[in-house]
Amino acid sequence: MEASSKCFYVLGFILILGITNFINGANAAGECPRSTPDMELLKLVPCVSAALDANAVVSSSCCTQVQKLGQNPKCLCAVMLSNTAKSSGVKPEIAITIPKRCNIADRPVGYKCGAYTLP
């Protein structure tokens, strides 16, 4: 029960952030060519439970979004390590394991992401 309420609050926070960025007309950042890491984070909403718990099952919709975002490893890293993700309760050391947990064959093996290395 506690995990589901935490996911609800994280999703609410991300939704509010997305609406705020849309209203303010956020400009694209360097890591994510057509968007900001915070806006790209909205695409990873299906990954919330997997980013909070290393033992959680990763949904197919999460894996699909991670695979798309993983085509640009710098953007994926920026999203996973963004202040918004951290303030939402996402644990970077768990979030960076999602590509491997999705069995994405063409994931950036050994890619440095801040203090973390993508497995």
Reported as a single tens digit per residue, the pLDDT across 60-87 is 999 999 999 888 888 888 888 888 888 8
The CA-CA-CA angle for residues 86, 3, 54, to 5°, reads: 65
pLDDT of residue 55: 93
Q: Where are the alpha helices (DSSP H) in 1-119?
A: 2-24, 37-43, 48-52, 60-69, 73-80, 83-87, 92-95, 98-101
Beta bridge partners of 113: 116
Distance CA 14, CA 74 (A): 21
Domain that holds residue 101: 2-117
Q: What is the pTM of this model?
A: 0.69
| Higher-scoring residue by pLDDT: 106, 87 | 87
Distance CA 63, CA 1 (A): 24
Number of domains in the chain: 1
Distances (CA, A) of 36 to 31, 33, 74, 94, 111: 8, 8, 12, 22, 20
Burial class of 4 by CB neighbour count within 10 A (0 to 12, 13 to 18, 19+)? exposed
Residue 23 has pLDDT above 80, yes or no: no
